[in-house]
Amino acid sequence: MIAPMFSRLRQVLIAGGVLSLASACASMPGGDSRLAQCSSLIDRVDKRIAVKQVGDAEAEPVDGFSYLRINRFLASFREELGDAPVFDEWVRRLRALDREARIVELQNLGAANIIAMVDECAEMLLTRDAKDAAFQSRLLKAARPPHHYNDWVRAAGLYPLTHIGVALGFERWKVDNLPAFGEDPSTWRASETRYATPASPDLSDIDVGAFIDLSAQNPLGIPDITGSVLRRMAEASAPVFAIEETSSADKLGRPSLGGDGAAPHTDPNDPVVYLRLTHTRMDGEVLPQLVYTVWFPERPKEGTFDILGGRLDGFVWRVTLDRQGRPLVYDSFHSCGCYHLFFPTDLVQRVPVSEDGDLREEPLTPMQAPRLQEGERLVLHLTSGSHYLRGLSTTPSWEDAKALRAVDEHAAPEFGLRSLATDETTRRSLFSPDGIVVGTERTERFILWPMGISSPGAMRQWGTHATAFVGTRHADDPYLLDEAFKR
C-alpha cells in the first residue's frame, strides 16, 4: 500500500507544484527509510503550508510531534495521564485535532488529493514514536496549551501603567450598557427581528442526560456528542435571536469570501447559526457545552472617530450543561473576544474570584438566566449597530422568527468557516494562520495594543479568543466556570 502511495504522491506533488520530492519517493524501501520519507513528506507539506499562509489556528501544533495538535481543554489533562488507557485516549484526541486541521490546510493548499497519504504517514510516525520508552515524558513536556497574550508586547506598552486607562474605560462601558438588563424586554419587541432554528421534537433533560452519559464512556470521561444527536441537542437548547433592526448591518447572514483576496462579506439571504460542541471542567466532571455563533455584515461606524466599527461582527452564545442535561451557566461574547458576559442559572451561584478585588476584568454577571418552562426557548435581545446583548427573556412560541440554518462547524468540507469555496477549484479559510479574520481590523488596535492581544477588536477563530484586556482570560479555558461558579 505505502509504496504505490508514494509513487502517486510524487506525481501529484510535482505536477501540482505543491512539493518536489526526491526520486526515492517512488521506490520506497522498507523500515527506517520509509519512516524517514514520511517524516520528510510532512515536513515539506508543513513548509508549503507556511509559505502559502494556509495554516489553521484552531489547535496548536505540538513542538517535535508534527502529527499532533493540542488545545487548552486537552492540555488540562496533562497531570492526569498515569494509566496507559487514559494516556492512549489522550494521544488519540491530539491526533484527531491534527487530522482535522490537516484536512483544512490541504484543501486550502489545493492538495486535497494527498490528504489520505499525509494521514497515513502521520499514523506511521505516531506508531514508531509510541514505541520509545521516553515518548510519554517527551510528549507531556512538549504539549503546552496556546497562549494568546504577548507578555513582551505588554512590557513594551508599559502595561502596568496603560492598563489603568483601559480598566477605567471598561468601567464606563459597564455603566453605559449593563443597566439595560434591568429593563422590560417586551418594550423592545416592535423593533426586533427574530431568528431561530426550526422547531424539533422536544428532548427532555432526561433524554439529554442519557446522551451525555452514553457518549462519555471513554477513558477520559469526555462526552463525545456528534452528528444527528448533537444537532438534536443543539436545536433543543438553541436560543431565539431577537435583533433590533435599523439597517442592513443588523441582518444575520452566512459569511463568505470572494476570489482574489476579496474582503469577507455575509449573505443575508442565507442566515446561518454555526454549532459546535466544546467542553469545560467543573467540580471534577467534564461537562458538554453547546456553542452557537451568528454573523452580521458589519458593526457600522457611528462617526469619524468611532474606533469600534468595521467589517463583520460575530456573536457567540454558549450553553454549559450538567451531566443530567440541565443548563448550568450561559455565557456570551463577540467574535473579537470582547464583551464577555455570564448568566448563571439557579443551579449555580457566582462566587468571589481574585479579579473582584482589583482592576482586572472579573466574570461579569449582569443578571441570572430566567428559568425555562417546558417548551420554552431563551430569547437573546441584541441592540442594533453594536449588537450588544441587552437582555434575556423566554418565549413559548417563535413561529414568526426567520429560519436559521444550522451548520456543524466540524462537518466537511467547509468545517464551519475554515475551508470555504471561492470558486470551483479554490478554497480559503475565513481565518488567517494566526486566527484573525483579515479585513476586520478595528481602529481600537492602535490604542489597545499594550494589552498584549493581537489586533484588538478584529474577528477571530475559535481557540484564539482572549476575552479580557485587563488581566488574562481565554474563552476556552476549561476551568473558567469552575473558578467563578459553584453548585
- 328 Cβ neighbours under 8 A, 6+ residues apart: 282, 287, 320, 321, 322, 344, 345, 347, 348, 481, 485, 487
Farthest CA pair distance, the chain: 75
In sequence order, what are the residues at sequence separation of 6 or more whose Cβ sits closer than 8 angstroms to the Cβ of residue 351?
484, 485, 486
**Contact present, 312 and 440 (Cβ < 8 Å):** yes
Q: How far is CA 126 from CA 56, 87, 234, 247, in A?
A: 21, 14, 34, 53
Phi then psi for residue 200, to 5 deg, are -125, 165
> Given the C-alpha cell 441587552, which residue does it identify?
390
C-beta separation of 125 from 66 below 8 A: yes
In one-letter notation, the amino acid at residue 434 is D
Q: How far is CA 230 from the centre of its chain?
A: 16
Chain centre to alpha carbon of residue 90: 20
Backbone dihedral angles phi then psi of residue 317, each to the nearest 5 degrees? -125, 130
Q: Is the pTM of this model over 0.75?
A: yes
pLDDT in tens, the chain (487 residues): 445 555 555 544 443 455 443 333 333 445 678 899 999 999 999 999 999 999 999 999 999 999 999 999 999 999 999 999 999 999 999 999 999 999 999 999 999 999 999 999 999 999 999 999 999 999 999 999 889 999 999 999 999 999 999 999 999 999 999 999 999 999 999 999 999 998 776 778 888 899 999 999 999 999 999 999 999 999 999 999 999 999 999 999 999 997 766 789 999 999 999 999 999 999 999 999 999 999 999 999 999 999 999 999 999 999 999 999 999 999 999 999 999 999 999 999 999 999 999 999 999 999 999 999 988 999 999 999 999 999 999 999 898 999 999 999 999 999 999 999 998 889 999 999 999 999 999 999 999 999 999 999 999 999 999 999 999 999 999 999 999 999 9
